[in-house]
Chains A and B, each alone.
Chain A
Amino acid sequence: MELKNYKTPPGVFDELLTSRNRARPGLGRLGSFLKKNSLKELNERKFSAELAIRTMGITFTVYSEGENIDREWPFDIIPRVIHEKEWKQIELGLKQRLEALNLFITDVYNDEKILKDKLIPREILASSKDYRKECRGIKPVFNTWAHICGTDLVRDGDGTMYVLEDNLRVPSGVSYMLENRNISKRILPELFEDQIILPMDDYPTNLFDTLSSISPRPLDYPEVVVLTPGIFNSAYFEHSFLAQRMGAELVEGPDLIVADDDCVYMKTVEGLSRVDVIYRRIDDLFLDPDAFNSESVLGVKGLMRAWQKGNVALANAPGAGIADDKVIYTYVPEMIRYYLDEDPILPNVSSYMCADKKQRQHVLQNIENLVVKPANESGGYGMYIGPRETKRRTAEMKRLVRSNPRNYIAQPIVNLSTVPTLCENAIEPRHVDLRPFILQGSKSYVTAGGLTRVALVRGSLVVNSSQGGGSKDTWILAQRT
């Protein structure tokens, strides 16, 4: 397959090829593989990947017109490759960032030093949907609130990796990252033979260790469970996948009960059995009908009380979402300097806070060239991408920003980097981002790579699987010794 006609869009960094369509240094093996195989041969590999996905039952759920549709996981066979040397730096940056974020969460629910020192205005916290007054005065084990974090990274035209957002509530995607690797080992075995691609399948073990380390009882075998909203949730596949890989019970709210001793038990055929750590995959507000949404049937009555008393560990802890707020995001580099006295290793995408009058003016004047994001949404919902929107939507967005400036930030458009992708009749560049997963408990851990999401539509920058995105395996390539 000749790559002569491959055209990276101007101002965009391609992860594999230089502007003269040569493989970047060290990535020649993949480059020559693509050149050596015909389109037909590549399509055969693609076909066996799809077959594997079907027989392994890898699906995700899309909500559409009130219906849940179970779809096969969209996967592109051409991997995205990053050098280990670059990755080591990114890894340090990710650990640094999560450490600072956890210190920040402990601080805002306890001493409020960062507020008293006026680094972050108090109003921002007070007006955040994700600030939980129930968490005041709580210090979880290791001062860690976000034990599992999925951070979205993007590479701009100049080749720099930026942090686009931190997901500290219930980040998902890790099971697909692991399954992607399984598939590519099946269909591209020869590329694993003569290159060192760092393995990533130790994630479930590390997740289990992280969760065990925060158990309130010093047991060798704490009871760890995964709490799922149930089969209709879009990430149910992942919940059952992780429970299975960790050997943990997959429980739903009604399986748990908080007894008079304020401890959490699960209902088993043997009787009530104490639970030490809950990896919860439901949002804060549904956790406990006594504390939050009284109509929630997903949660467990009294769970917050049990957690506040330190009888059960919740991962991620309630209230961790405060650091997920897009406005708080803009302060993360400051936090790193403030709490760790270090320079941030990974830069933020520069952002405008609409709450600030001057910055708001700039946003409103240049809105057609900016991305505007609501502060508390995830999954790409409510996002406004200036150059692609209709006049009507632009007017509406301006109105929204004016009426509730606190709820919006704006960023210049990042020209997401591209990776060669097997399309209908050719290999074409498609935009990608990257979501590595970071664990923090008794120690920190970063996945070797992450989930690379790819916008399958030509020119599109939207990578979310619910909106036409696909995925790729991500290879961290070690230097041969």
Chain B
Amino acid sequence: MLSRVAEKMYWFGRYIERVENTARLMIVNTNLVLDLPRVKHIWDSLIEITGARQRFNQRFIRVDERNVIKFLLDDEQISIRSSIQMARENARTTREIIPTEAWVIVNELNLFINKNKDKGVRRDGRHKFLADIIAICNELTGSLAGSMSVDIAYNFIKTGRNLERADMTTRIVDAGCLNLINPTQVETNEYENILWMNVLRSLTGYQMYRQHVQDRVNGEDVVDFLLKNRKFPRGVAHCLFEVGNCCRQLPRNDNPLRSITHAQRNIDNNDIIKLLNESHLHEFIDEVQLDLADIHSELSGTWFQFDANAPEIVEHSLPE
């Protein structure tokens, strides 16, 4: 497979996942605001998660619900709208690879978002709009799983999806911790409980957490679950496991596999509860994010870019 095409598959997977994750984040934060109307920094933490504060500040003065939602719906670079456009563009230029059924869903999703994005701004229409987006994303993922051969192209889509997922989970955990540090007038215990429940919900992890952890929802267990649990699909450990599986199917995978193993060990060998109690979790999450960035550059250097190091020439055996 051409490297250019492989890279497009990878980004297609990432951008579709980003659309879904952004929609989830917006739903959960909207609910959180209803539960905790007196907490003011909820929208601010959403900007923190996207890592695009500078860009936000260029466009808006106030960090409030309306502005943050508009930003996440409609920004030229990091919004749901721009993500679906990028996903579509990657699919459009690789039409011979993506199954027609999936291509049709991508187009529908793009049209749906462009047509209805104003509904997301007001609280009354927001939930339905975002839930529909999530449903179409799931339809797409299902369609790909059901109609695409599990070959190189599919492995790149899946790699992109899981790396994006891992990245988003670390951001959400990070934002959860930052929220805790901020002083609030609400009674700490009650606030903490609601906050972590929402963190789980934004990752559709509440039910699965309940099945894995018998104790009441608390910070230590939630963070441990989201980072280390290998079975929960949005857990960082699980995502890395999946990325590893995909890369094992691809040729010349030494360097990417090494970087994945490194990231996995780093998570396995650290005591999350201790880090949290000693307030070092934020630094640790930074480390994990650097590991994820490192995996991306190894993937890119191995399979997408050819300038970094001279790659070997494949000798095709002559047919007998």
Which residues in A have some Cβ–Cβ distance to B below 8 Å? 219-221, 230-231, 240, 243-244, 249-252, 254-255, 257, 259, 265-274
Contacts and interface: CB of A to CB of B under 8 A. Distances in A.
Given A255-B3, A255-B4, A270 B252 contact: yes
A345 to B, nearest CB: 39
Contacts of B313: 259, 265, 271-274
A220 B96 contact: no
A269 B6 contact: yes
Contact of A231 (B6, B93, B250, B316): B93
B86 to A, nearest CB: 14
A221 B312 contact: no
Q: Which 5 A-B pairs have the closest CB atoms?
A: A267-B3, A269-B303, A271-B311, A271-B314, A270-B251
24 contacts: A220-B319, A231-B92, A243-B96, A249-B2, A265-B313, A266-B2, A267-B306, A268-B1, A268-B3, A268-B314, A269-B1, A269-B3, A269-B6, A270-B251, A270-B314, A271-B252, A271-B312, A271-B313, A271-B314, A272-B311, A272-B314, A273-B314, A274-B314, A274-B316
A259 to B, nearest CB: 7
Q: Tell which of A230, A266, A267 has the most Cβ of chain B within 10 Å.
A: A267
Given A269-B252, A271-B311, A274-B316, 14 more contacts: A240-B96, A251-B2, A252-B4, A265-B313, A266-B2, A267-B311, A268-B3, A269-B303, A270-B252, A270-B314, A271-B251, A271-B314, A272-B313, A274-B314
A270 B93 CA distance: 21
A265 B312 CA distance: 11
B162 to A, nearest CB: 18
A250 B96 contact: yes
B95 interface: yes
Contacts of A257: 306
A272 B312 contact: yes
A266 to B, nearest CB: 6
B68 interface: no
Nearest to A272: B313
Contacts of A271: 251-252, 311-314
B152 A269 contact: yes
Q: Which of A221, A255, A265, A271 has the most CB of B within 10 A?
A: A271
A149 B93 CA distance: 27
Interface in B228-286: 250-252
B319 A221 contact: yes
A473 to B, nearest CB: 24
Contacts of B61: none
B152 A244 contact: no
Contacts of B1: 268-270
Interface in B1-46: 1-4, 6
B181 interface: no
Contacts of A259: 313
B318 interface: yes
A255 B319 CA distance: 25
A255 B2 contact: yes
Q: Most chain-B Cβ atoms within 10 A of its Cβ — which of A220, A249, A252, A272?
A: A272
A272 B152 CA distance: 16
Contacts of A244: 96
Interface in B298-320: 303, 306, 311-314, 316, 318-319
A54 B319 CA distance: 42
Contacts of A220: 318-319
Contacts of A252: 4
A237 B303 CA distance: 27
Interface string B121-157: 0000000000000000000000000000000100000
B249 to A, nearest CB: 11
Nearest to B319: A220
Contacts of A251: 2
A208 to B, nearest CB: 16
Nearest to B315: A274
Contacts of B93: 230-231
A223 B152 CA distance: 19
A215 to B, nearest CB: 13
Nearest to A254: B4
Contacts of B312: 271-272
A156 to B, nearest CB: 42
Contact of A240 (B95, B303, B306, B316): B95
Contacts of B316: 273-274
B41 to A, nearest CB: 44
Contacts of B3: 255, 267-269
Contacts of B318: 219-220
Nearest to A261: B313
Contacts of B250: 269
Contacts of B152: 269
Contacts of B311: 267, 271-272
B206 to A, nearest CB: 39
Contacts of A219: 318-319
B121 to A, nearest CB: 29
A271 B4 CA distance: 12
Interface in B95-125: 95-96
Contacts of B96: 240, 243-244, 250
A267 B5 CA distance: 10
Nearest to A249: B2
Contacts of A268: 1-3, 314
Contacts of B252: 269-271
Nearest to A252: B4
A221 B320 CA distance: 11
A220 B312 CA distance: 23
Contacts of A221: 319
Interface in B54-112: 92-93, 95-96
